[in-house]
Amino acid sequence: MQRVLELLLLSSTALAVIGDGFIALPVHKLQAGEGSAHFPNRLPIFDVVNGVAKSVEDDVNQIIQPIFGNGIFSGGSIQGTHSGNGHSVKYEVSLPSSSSQKGSNGPSSTDNKDTDPSKTGFSLDDLMNSIPTDFWNLIGLNKAPTSSDNGSKDADFTPSAVSQVEQPTSKSVESTAPGPASSASSSSSSEAASSSQPSEDSQPSSSANKKTGAFFLSLDNTQTLYTATLKVGSPAQEVQVMIDTGSSDLWFISSGNSQCKVNGGSIDCDKYGVFDKSKSSTWHDNKTDYSISYYDGDKASGTMGQDNITFADGFSIENANFAVIDNTTSSIGVFGVGYPELEAVKSKYTNLPFAMKEQNLIAKVAYSLYLDSRDAVQGYILFGGIDHAKYTGDLKAFDIVQSNDKYVYSQIPLTSVASSLNNYTNAYGLPAGSNHPKVGAVIYNGTDSFNGGVDLKDTPTLLDTGTTYSYLSKDQVESIVGLYGNVTYNDAGKAYEVPCWVGNPGNYLEFNFKNEQYIKVPTSEFVISVGTYASGAELCVFGILPGTHSILGDNFMRSVYAVFDLEDHVISIAQAAYNDNHAVVPIE
């Protein structure tokens, strides 16, 4: 099936002070084999477009369809038919029971069935080996793909490790307005409302030693996610969490998580750290339950509370709101930096980006994101500032597109995508005499070509660090793939095949935003080698996948410098510049 992308792991290094109030935390990248093979998808499960509640079967189908094509989940099994080359193969896969798994079940829930793959955590190999051999032969693969094909010997795959289609669906019949379908509850509605905010007695105190200004936060890129190291509680406990622009809550895994190995489970919770609230003298329990589900199949349930969080020396939040998770199959927590509308609790609270301004750490609710190249050694998130050395050209600001008249997702209009190909030479750049050709225009210059590409009609598109790949509508993806020749859909990978040479150096895609900003991304970010045909020829698929929501994930974000201003509701972008220089100024 899908080989693990050759993404990079970031790890923290020493501090580097680059100016008054500016603290840089450089990061190093390690090879993919040293990281996790799991592909997180930390978009909360809910529908902000229609507010329509869907069944558990609907949710599970969103997870399994990228693996099994038209297979449908029903009654504890997956049934489907694959057609091709004049033949048709039917298959039915009974989902492995939780009792036969290496790991423990995920969080229990009254509205989930025992056969929910996001709950049982069975491996992708278990599923793949259940498919008839004729199925794999029919689609041109000589055997069922296994996790060993992904370059990771010990990797356990869940179905959602390949399922990256981020299509929010709702499990809450109570929620009709945009926002997460939350399972949060409390002993009383009034207590929930009051406990999600600091009490009068626990309001942040002023401190002459507290710093104000922009500061960097380290990011560790573990395969397909970027993590930050935070210090929590008193005395401080160091914990890593996943940085996610597509969600809003902060939560840490509890030392008492039932899924941790030390507690009889299967998760290595020590890898990224846990929070032991019993050891913090400043922990305040809100007595409010917290529960959230993500489309990678992970779930988290625990308790909301407050404690102190330190990001860097002198930059800390007092009485920050977050959840401590007692039951999750995830090995790492989440640091959501999106709009509060995405919070998975009924009573909204001040999440960390807004708390930073509230407590005078930054002047504006804004941060800039620099993931750097796949081969570079540094990357970071910069709260309250812009590093002008990290981009070329001008930063162009675009209004964030609302959902149902509310600011929910960090999404901006994507106008078109064009392609520049250099099939046989090592030349770089656009053909002579061309700048940004009109959509549909094709220019040839020897063996180089530039295709004006596909009109996307200003599609609202989410910029999301929590997504590995990128997603557009089926028609849009087919139009882009058509720039490279025949459009062939691979049912096994749930992606479109492309010639592997499309990923050669010098080839790139150009993303057009409102005809005002053009971001070039090497096609190597989008060409994924997934194995071989029966003939032995290499098989590659395209890293922009069909979905009902438009998302530009990590394979795009590494090429852009992005400034998220959640206060003025704009996102500014420019072409990323890969260097070791800094020119940081605060965002006023």
Q: Does 375 belong to an annotated binding site?
A: no
| Alpha-helix residue ranges (DSSP H) falling in 144-236 | 189-195
Quote the tokens at residue 437. 């050709």
Q: Does 268 belong to an annotated binding site?
A: no
CB-CB contact of 231 with 309 (8 Å):
yes
Q: Give the residue among 576, 347, 375, 556 at the shortest CA–CA distance from 470.
A: 556
| Alpha-helix residue ranges (DSSP H) falling in 209-263 | none
191: DSSP letter: H
Quote the tokens at residue 526. 């989008």
Q: Does 296 belong to an annotated binding site?
A: yes
> Of residues 116, 156, 448, 464, which has the active-site annotation?
464
Q: Which residues pair with 335 in a beta bridge?
A: 243, 250
Q: Does 350 belong to an annotated binding site?
A: no
Active site residue 244: yes
Q: Does 220 belong to an annotated binding site?
A: no
Q: Does 554 belong to an annotated binding site?
A: no
- CB burial of 290-301 (b: ≥16 within 10 Å; e: otherwise) equals bbbbbbbbbbbb
Backbone phi, psi, residue 323, to 5°: -110, 145
Active site residue 47: no
- CB burial of 434-460 (b: ≥16 within 10 Å; e: otherwise) equals eebbebeeebeeeebbbbbbbbbebbe
Enumerate residues 6+ apart whose C-beta is below 8 A from 362: 212, 213, 214, 356, 383, 384, 385, 586, 587
Q: Does 146 belong to an annotated binding site?
A: no
CB-CB contact of 90 with 71 (8 Å):
no
> Of residues 47, 244, 372, 491, which has the active-site annotation?
244
Cα-Cα-Cα-Cα torsion 138, 141, 142, 145, nearest 10 degrees, comes to -120
Q: Does 464 belong to an annotated binding site?
A: yes
Token pair 């929070």: residue: 275
Q: Does 245 belong to an annotated binding site?
A: yes
CB-CB contact of 320 with 308 (8 Å):
yes
Known binding positions: 244-246, 295-296, 464-468
Q: Supply the residues annotated as catalytic.
A: 244, 464
| Binding-site residue set for pepstatin A | 244-246, 295-296, 464-468
